[in-house]
Amino acid sequence: MSDNPRIAVFPGSFDPFTKGHEHIARRAAAMFDKIIVAIGQNSQKKSMYSLERRINWVQSCLADLNNVEVHAYSGLTVDFCESCGAKYMVRGLRNSVDFEYEQTISQMSHDLKPEIETVVLFTHPRYSAINSRVVREIIKNKGDVSAFIPSSVDVYEK
Ligand code: ADP
């Protein structure tokens, strides 16, 4: 790795990690020296899966990549980026709803820490309908989510 590695944080709740998240993480890993998949802990937002399981899923799913780390964080994402020496924040964009949200977050993050650049990757059409919230609803209703999540993500295991 160079003396000045290009480090990017890919933040999210990944509850659970989907094929859409995986595709963005892999594309980002090909663009940067190091990717940190950062699982945000939000006291206002109760997750369906424990932090430990979400970390394990991302680690096992991306185990073949040698420039990916998985961390948990709390607080502002831009502060976490700064603490890891990351100058880039990667986000995935599925549709115009994501666009509105990501634009707001990106502009406010820029006001807080102008040195951190948000890099938005458009979702591959194959994955653009995959949404963690809908995946959770299907799981709660005992439906089959295998088309939406990587095979190493075992959401049914207790
Ligand atoms: P958040 O709760 O912050 O939206 P998520 O875990 O849902 O976090 O998503 C993390 C990031 O992954 C966000 O940038 C989101 O837009 C992106 N993302 C979510 N689902 C997909 C998908 N199917 N394809 C590409 N990007 C996605």
CATH of the domain at 81: 3.40.50.620
Does residue 156 sit within a domain?
no
Does residue 91 sit within a domain?
yes
For the entire predicted model, the pTM comes to 0.95
Helices in 3-148 by DSSP H: which ranges? 19-31, 51-61, 77-84, 96-112, 132-140
Residues 90-142: pLDDT tens digits?
A: 999 999 999 999 999 999 999 999 999 999 999 999 999 999 999 999 999 99
CA dihedral 122, 124, 129, 130 (to 10 degrees): -90
| Nearest-angstrom CA–CA distance, 142 and 121 | 32
Q: Whose CA is nearest to atom 26 of ligand 1?
A: 92
Q: Hey, what amino acid is at 142?
A: K
Distance of CA 59 to the CA centre of its chain: 12
- Is the predicted pLDDT of residue 1 greater than 90, yes or no? no
Residues 43-100: pLDDT tens digits?
A: 777 899 999 999 999 999 999 999 999 999 999 999 999 999 999 999 999 999 999 9
Does residue 147 sit within a domain?
no
| Residue among 5, 10, 6 at smallest CA distance from 90 | 10
Whether ligand 1 lies within 6 angstroms of the CB of 16 is answered as no
Q: Whose CA is nearest to atom 8 of ligand 1?
A: 12
Whether ligand 1 lies within 6 angstroms of the CB of 90 is answered as no
- Confidence (pLDDT) at 158: 65
Q: Tell me, yes or no, if 21 is annotated catalytic.
A: yes
Domain that holds residue 72: 7-140
DSSP helix/strand/coil, 47: coil
Residues 49-58: pLDDT tens digits?
A: 999 999 999 9
Domain count, the chain: 1
Does residue 150 sit within a domain?
no
The pLDDT-based confidence of 42 (bands split at 50, 70, 90) is confident
Does residue 130 sit within a domain?
yes
Does residue 24 sit within a domain?
yes
Instruction: Please report the atom of ligand 1 found closest to the CA of residue 133.
Output: 7
Does residue 114 sit within a domain?
yes
| Nearest-angstrom CA–CA distance, 117 and 82 | 11
Does residue 55 sit within a domain?
yes
